[in-house]
Chains A and B, each alone.
Chain A
Amino acid sequence: GAGVSQSPSNKVTEKGKDVELRCDPISGHTALYWYRQSLGQGLEFLIYFQGNSAPDKSGLPSDRFSAERTGGSVSTLTIQRTQQEDSAVYLCASSLLPGGPGELFFGEGSRLTVL
């Protein structure tokens, strides 16, 4: 049983470029979350997917950020026209959610550095 898998683990890009970050959740987990962790900061919520429901995008910081989840499994977070303030670790998590809140299983994260 593999855990949550994220790729790439590290990404260095130039300001203005687009980046895509991928998340493979635990099989069977219906909920998928993206959080951002900046140096010395907490976990900032970005977006939440639950089953076939419309995603909760309330945490996305700007319209340069978007995410999709295909087939209820793999998710991709896209950041367009990256800025230096986008530099952070992007964490994906999945949860089984058997009718109530429960444990989030996090991936190792994708560390994004924008030069």
Chain B
Amino acid sequence: GENVEQHPSTLSVQEGDSAVIKCTYSDSASNYFPWYKQELGKRPQLIIDIRSNVGEKKDQRIAVTLNKTAKHFSLHITETQPEDSAVYFCAASSASGGSYIPTFGRGTSLIVHP
């Protein structure tokens, strides 16, 4: 089955700095890579996703890059703000037999200091 590794487990930055979270996956058949943000006590919510036919996707201060050859993808947050503080989860998913079951990383706790 799929295995997703996520690093770092904790990331502390100053407001305005950039933050990068990296994930690797094992199943070369994976073709969908979402990122979820979970604020304290809240439900995880999708913030950005990328499919295997593109290498990069941007949405305002957030970008995701994908390297299929190396089987890794990364989340980049620029000009971080205190409200970016949360746990971020990466995931990988493939259409195995028509099932789409995302495998999640263990999460990165991002702390943005004002």
Interface residues of A (CB under 8 A from B): 31, 33, 35, 41-43, 45, 48, 50, 53, 56, 58, 91, 95, 97, 100-104, 106-109
Contacts and interface: CB of A to CB of B under 8 A. Distances in A.
Contact of B46 (A33, A103, A107, A109): A103
A50 B89 contact: no
Interface of chain A: mostly helix, strand, loop or mixed: loop
10 contacts: A41-B107, A42-B104, A43-B91, A43-B107, A45-B104, A48-B99, A48-B101, A56-B99, A97-B100, A101-B95
B98 interface: yes
User: How extensive is the interface on chain B, given as a class?
Assistant: 20 to 34
A108 to B, nearest CB: 5
Contacts of A97: 100
Contacts of A43: 44, 89, 91, 104, 107
